Structure 1
Amino acid sequence: MLTQTLSSCARAATAEEARYRIDRPIAPSRAGRVVALDPGAAEILRRTAQHPWANARFYSCQPAGAGSEEVVLRGIDGGSATLADELASASVVVMVATSDAGAACANTLGKACWERGIQTAGLVLGDGTQVGTAASAAVTALRPHARVLLPSSDEADVVDLLTALRV
């Protein structure tokens, strides 16, 4: 008698194995903080924040004062927050830049995330002509502080990145 054995992929497609499948969508697992490092990025995040997000919070970042390593986080809605409070419940921080104006904020955020073991990502939005422009300067400013760095000329990449991170 000849018995036919199924491969593991074929077995997984059987009705018997279907009872072990999870039929619910995966719940968002990230508490994301999305931070604009300059005024151009803040405008982009105002539009991005209008999308439905599970756990994301959107901020703009400004240095607290000349020579200070402290930063001020302002919610897209105008409210303020402390960096320590926001990082206490964050699992990922995404920094968005359109110029190098936020280099000091990127440095402070990157250092604070590194000390706490929080994943970081950077998204630099330019106009597609990045050689010698503000966008290339932003890439240079973010490079030491973001584990993942995505230069792009498409604003939709912000939504795509946040969706991929499940925030």
Structure 2
Amino acid sequence: MTQSGLVSSCARAATAEEAAFRIDYPLAAARNTRVVALDAAAEEIVRRVSQTQWAQARFYSAVDPGHSLVTMSGKTVPLAGELEDSNTLVLVSSSGDNAQAAATIGAACLVRGIMMAGLVVTPGQLTSVALSTLRPHARILLVPAEEDDLFELLRATRS
């Protein structure tokens, strides 16, 4: 088919008859994603990613046993309050620290029906304590993950 043939087929798709089949409503709103670092190395990654302009994403580090989160500006907030309007949560771990916080956050997401993903940022290691910490709680688990994976995950979910 020639270039001109493609143009004419596009023109035909613009008729009123074809327009009746177009989806005519806006895209869903951005996800209210919460990103939680479980250890110091993960917090560095989360802090860097948080510097990008995001629609609804909020970024934290976890404090054992997980009932509170710390914002990137250092303010301590209750976990329950931050989950109220959330529909996605991403846990980021590199060492497996804060296993109790991961369990607390995972249980809170489960009872609220919040989808939880996990990123195990352990370059070059396919097995680790971080993997076993996140595995029981995350529906989606990226292993081994890199900083760019968190950025792309947030971008793909329009966070």
TM-score where L is the length of structure 2: 0.83
Contact kept, 8 Å, 1:28 with 1:54, in 2: the verdict is no
Contact kept, 8 Å, 1:35 with 1:61, in 2: the verdict is yes
Contact kept, 8 Å, 1:128 with 1:153, in 2: the verdict is no
- Structure 2: which amino acid aligns with 1:120? M
RMSD over equivalenced CA pairs, Å? 2.5
Alignment gaps of 5+ in structure 2? 1-8
Aligned to 1:120: 116
Contact kept, 8 Å, 1:41 with 1:97, in 2: the verdict is yes
CA distance in 2, matches of 1:95, 1:153: 12
- 2:131 maps to which of 107, 129, 139: 139
CA distance in 1, matches of 2:26, 2:151: 19
Contact kept, 8 Å, 1:58 with 1:76, in 2: the verdict is yes
Q: CA deviation at 1:27?
A: 5.3
Q: CA deviation at 1:130?
A: 3.5
Aligned to 1:5: none
Contact kept, 8 Å, 1:28 with 1:55, in 2: the verdict is no
Q: CA deviation at 1:70?
A: 4.9
Q: CA deviation at 1:21?
A: 4.3
Q: CA deviation at 1:153?
A: 4.2
Alignment gaps of 5+ in structure 1? 1-9, 64-68
Identical amino acids, percent of aligned pairs:
45
Q: Report the CA distance shift for 1:25/1:41 in structure 2 as closer, same or farther (over 3 A).
A: farther
**Structure 1 segments (4+ residues) deviating >3 Å:** 18-28
